[in-house]
Amino acid sequence: MILPAPDGPWRARLFRVALALAIASVACSGPAGAADLTLAPVEVTDWKSVYATVEPSVRVSARARNAGTVIELSVDEGSAVRQGDRIARVLDEKLALRRQALDARIAATASEAANIESEVNRARQLFARGTISQSRIDQLETQLDVARGSLRAAEAERNVLDQQEREGDVIAATNGRVLSVPVTIGSVILPGETVAEIAEDGFLLRLQLPERHAGTTRQGDLVRILASTEGTARDGRIVKVYPELQQGRVIADAAAESLGDFFVGERVPVEIGTGKRTVLAVPVAALTTRNGLDYVTIRQPGAVGEVVVQRGSVLATPEGDQVEILSGLTAGDVVVLP
């Protein structure tokens, strides 16, 4: 824009006013190549920060099936076990005495059956020569059947005794890590008493939410787990919402892949969505701060100007971080981006 040089005092003042208007007109026209953003309501999720307790997915108790004394213990708190591993052995000393009695009984019954079988063979030879009657042979054969039956019963009882001795081995029912071992070598235990408690591989995060969230907490809801070995948050999902309130709180379990190696009972910070709302938001770069006030440049018909806004929290959106605008803008405003 070219203006003629002034040739008098009043014309000099007129020249300065015209020059100022020209500069303002150029400034209001907006920077070359600037992008425009038309504000529209955005739906966001309100997140509530809570603490979750790390719990094993399944707690399995390894119990003794026999009464007796613990003579072997191969695990301690924190030990890793595999399914089928023997973690302890319980011995009932009376079983050894019963075995001795059964062995003697089996030997005596076997000898008795052998003698009766020999008598039966001799009786058949004598019957062939006509010395004894058929009734005597029948009597001896009956005695032989009874002896053999007694021998089979004693052997079956010994098999039961063998099974009882094998049941003295306490076996891990699943893969996992031992949480507690309430016995030691030499402890006397009863049938069904716990020898070790095993946490099955895999963790869950148990949430306790205020009762007012009972209507909004659903299975499949997203949760953000803030504690991780990489130092970054990760997403998880609620896998179970318990139908019973406990002391005015909703109990829910959340799961995520590769939660990491936690201590059972550890408290982990998480965030859970408590509802959705619509807000107006602009990119962080659209805000300019001067003298403690935040400004946003908007385009109006025929002019571009700045307005004072009240900023809110920073929102994570698919387009990047944006700042919630609490006041100063309305839907449909055109924001000039740098």
DSSP per residue, 126-149: HHHTTSS-HHHHHHHHHHHHHHHH
Q: Kindly state whether residues 282 and 332 are assigned to the same domain.
A: yes
- 85 and 189 assigned to the same domain: yes
Q: What is the pTM of this model?
A: 0.55
Share of the chain above pLDDT 70, in %: 86
Q: Which residue has the tokens 């019973």?
A: 244
* Residues near 102 by beta carbon (within 8 Å), at least 6 away in sequence: 154, 157, 158, 161
CATH code of the domain covering residue 77: 2.40.50.100
Q: Are residues 16 and 69 in the same domain?
A: no
Taking alpha carbons only, the member of 86, 84, 89 closest to residue 64 is 89
CATH assignment of the domain containing 281: 2.40.30.170
Which of 84-88, 224-228, 269-273 ranks highest by mean pLDDT? 84-88
One domain, residues 68 and 179:
yes
* Per-residue pLDDT band at 10 (split at 50, 70, 90): very low
pLDDT digits (tens, 9 = 90+) for 161-216: 888 888 889 999 888 889 899 999 999 999 999 999 998 877 888 998 888 888 87
- Domain tally, the chain: 4
HEC string of 103-116? HHHHHHHHHHHHHH
Shared domain check, 298 and 208: yes
Q: Are residues 242 and 321 in the same domain?
A: yes
Residues 6+ apart with CB under 8 A from 255: 57, 204, 205, 236, 237, 239
Same domain as 323, residue 222: yes
Q: Do 213 and 117 fall within a single domain?
A: no
- 305 & 316 share domain: yes
Q: Which domain holds residue 18?
A: 1-29
Same domain, 180 and 66: yes
Instruction: For residues 207 and 271, state if they share a domain.
Output: yes
User: Worst-scoring range by mean pLDDT, 39-43, 101-105, 259-263, 329-333?
Assistant: 259-263
